[in-house]
A and B are shown apart, each in its own frame.
Chain A
Amino acid sequence: MNTALAPRPTGPAHPARRTARARLAARRRLRVLAVGAALTAALTAATIYAIGTGEFDIAPADVIATLLADGSKAHEFIIETLRLPRVFTALLVGAALGMAGAVFQSLTRNPLGSPDIVGFTTGAGTGALIQILVIGGGMAAVATGALLGGLLTSLAVYLLAYRGGVQGYRLVLVGIGVNGGLVATNAYLVARAEFAESQVAVTWLAGNLNGRTWEHVNLLALTLAALIPLTLALGRRLTLLELGDHVATGLGIRVERARLTLILTGVALAAMATVAAGPVPFVALAAPQLARRLTRAPGPGLVPAALMGALLLLLGDLLAQRLLAPTLLPVGVMTGTLGGLYLAWLLVHEWRTTRR
């Protein structure tokens, strides 16, 4: 399992090979940049397409004109009040999930260590549900509840998996168990709620982007504006942690503190995504993996993962809206189906190549 994430073994620095390696490193960096640019381009195109599609289709040229404040009044209304909040929420939630997934997959050195598999997003959902259904409160209170839920879950999973150290598979299986218990808790919370409230909660729990407003976008934009730069700033430490605790310590990293900060930011990213869209499954798992397959670069690859997450969620949402139109499926149903299949493929692929 670890081989896909473990850094390539580097041989002794042989002078004759140095220039070759420098060239290789340059080519790698170029590839990462190219993938980033391609993802950004795809993201822009998908965004414009997503803004233009729906019950009332708007041509891409008109979408661009309206975005540049040069469109008709009708287009302006549709785009600004209906389409933009949804698309922005999708982009931001996807980016947050992709980045959170990259952080945790790198920390656990295991693709299955992503927050949706080990229950952190479900835990954030439980926290948010308790806040909505039991305590009550506005958007900020719900966000706090989700954050607390995610943090407590990650703490519980870590402690339950601890047995003189945390071994990768045990963490994942304990996470799966905790996830199952939290799903039951969420069902219990919904069952004891008033009918109207419970209906809202059920659609939210599926992972949903229907009816998102600027309120969601603002919350996400504000929190992610702080969290994403923070995570990126921690990215170098994450790369060094991948080399192992001893090496990282030798290179001047305070390992435990770095790990704790990274866990906190990762959980916060996943929690904010959950507040805005519910526990959307498998984006955090798939985005870093797919991005890594494209860039073929070692290290956590935070930015490509975030771009890929945004793209996946946007495309998933488009598919969920169009596949069975006029029925609007929750995006979580789409990512759940495709992501489950992807996970099965990923497992088989890993097992074929490793001998565990």
Chain B
Amino acid sequence: MAHTVAPPKAAAPGQPRRGGPARGLGLLLAAALLALAVTASISIGSKGIPLGDILSLLADPDGSDAAMIVWEHRVPRTLLGVGVGASLALAGALMQSLTRNPLADPGLLGVEAGAVIAIASAIGLLGLAGLPQYIWFSFAGSAAAAVIVYLLGASGKSAATPVRLALAGTAVSAALASATQALVLIDRDAFEKFRHWGTGALAGHDMSVLTRVAPFMLAGLALALALGPSLNAIALGDDAGRALGVSPGRIRLTGALAVTLLCGAATAAVGPIGFVGLIVAHAARLICGPDERWILAYSAILGPVLLLTADIAGRLLLWPGELEAGIVTAFLGMPVFIALVRRKKIAAL
């Protein structure tokens, strides 16, 4: 993966060329947005705590109720949002680029549903209750679902088109979601916690969840960012990639590994959250053009922005109750998905 390949020089017609400095500046702007979202996520909640107090509590927890709320609820929740948002967005960008499919998203293509049913089986059938054990099931489940959906979509005479992959993902997701529901209904007690987790909420997880999934997320992040140059090399087709000295097979395998790590860890932490990958990867592509290295970098920063914003919106929508972040992202994702479907050439990637 060490080959550094120049990004495609000629931008798509009609697309303004953006120089490195402008994209770097944009990335800084995105980082500023992320800082804003993180601050908002720590300060907004059903118990109003002034921003000044929060800053002093972050620096010096004094054991008060407010300090407990900030340190045990809002900080883990926000950090989880950052990790999960970055993971899902990167996974979406990788999937879109690897399958050359604008409709690719961990939720839409059934990868998350695979992780969910694997975890549900681990809890319900094998009695594994702890995250350190069932996270491996999450990886296995997401990898298996991804492979099944891809094979279904690629069956027949022509290659896997975006439409086929989306339909295969819908079918597999539906079957897996129903089977998961059956598992949950068998043993209600074992699934009390699962039921909350299954809805895709950032709230209600403590710091230990984050520390357990963070290594896998970081590994996935590193793999994904390292893949950027090679993805550029195969952007014009596998043959062009080979001519540029990269091995398409190895890139796909590494990419699949990164997607599995990212989706498996994110789903094991907070449950299935759809559409983050779809929205963010397209937004990133819109901002910085077809260079995969920049798309991945933007995705890693904009993913958390979107997920934290969705989470905050969920808190405000049902004040003082809360709406799960996964539901909000589905609301946001629907128009994006439909707009993509309405585009003239769906395979225009």
Contacts and interface: CB of A to CB of B under 8 A. Distances in A.
Given A282-B174, A340-B176, A178 B338 contact: yes
B15 interface: no
Contacts of B172: 340, 344
Given A160-B338, A180-B274, A281-B178, A344 B152 contact: yes
B341 interface: yes
B152 A348 contact: yes
A332 B174 CA distance: 11
A72 interface: no
Nearest to A352: B156
Interface of A, secondary structure class, is: helix
Interface in A167-190: 169-170, 172-174, 176-178, 180-181, 183-185, 187-188
Contact of A181 (B155, B178, B179, B334): B334
B334 A177 contact: yes
Contacts of B64: none
Interface in B162-188: 163-164, 166-168, 170-179, 181-182, 185-186
A327 B185 contact: yes
A181 B177 CA distance: 16
Interface string B268-282: 000000110000000
Contact of B341 (A174, A181, A344): A174
Contacts of A329: 182, 185
A187 B321 contact: no
In this complex, the member of B158, B164, B175, B337 whose beta carbon has the largest number of chain A beta carbons within 10 angstroms is B175
Contacts of B181: 206, 330, 333, 336
A355 interface: yes
Interface string A328-356: 01101111111111011001100110111
A206 B274 CA distance: 20
A170 B178 contact: no
A22 interface: no
A337 B330 contact: no
A261 to B, nearest CB: 27
B175 A174 contact: no
Given A178-B338, A347-B168, A356-B158, A169 B163 contact: yes
Nearest to B163: A169
Interface string A200-243: 00000010000000000000000000000000000000000000
A173 B343 CA distance: 12
A333 B182 contact: yes
Given A184-B330, A187-B199, A348 B156 contact: yes
A181 B274 CA distance: 11
Nearest to B174: A340
A182 to B, nearest CB: 9
A173 B158 contact: no
A177 B338 contact: yes
In this complex, the member of B155, B173, B178 whose beta carbon has the largest number of chain A beta carbons within 10 angstroms is B178
A40 to B, nearest CB: 29
Nearest to B173: A340
A354 B161 CA distance: 14
Contact of A324 (B156, B176, B177, B186): B186
Contact of A188 (B173, B182, B327): B327
A344 B151 CA distance: 11
A112 interface: yes
A178 to B, nearest CB: 7
A149 to B, nearest CB: 16
Contact of A344 (B166, B175, B275, B317): B175
A343 B155 contact: no
B342 interface: yes
B157 interface: yes
Nearest to A207: B178
Contact of B171 (A161, A173, A180, A340): A340
In this complex, the member of B166, B170, B274, B331 whose beta carbon has the largest number of chain A beta carbons within 10 angstroms is B170
Contacts of B173: 340
Contacts of A344: 152, 168, 171-172, 175
B333 interface: yes
A170 B175 CA distance: 22
A141 interface: no
B324 interface: yes
A247 interface: no
A282 B174 CA distance: 10
B337 A336 contact: no
Given A180-B337, A282-B174, A192 B318 contact: yes
A112 B157 CA distance: 20
8 contacts: A176-B167, A177-B337, A324-B185, A333-B181, A335-B178, A344-B172, A344-B175, A348-B152
Interface of A: 112, 117, 160-161, 163, 169-170, 172-174, 176-178, 180-181, 183-185, 187-188, 191-192, 206, 281-282, 324, 327, 329-330, 332-341, 343-344, 347-348, 351-352, 354-356
Closest 4 CB pairs of A and B: A340-B175, A336-B178, A181-B334, A351-B156
Interface of B: 103, 152, 155-158, 163-164, 166-168, 170-179, 181-182, 185-186, 199, 274-275, 317-318, 321, 323-324, 327-328, 330-331, 333-334, 337-338, 341-342, 344
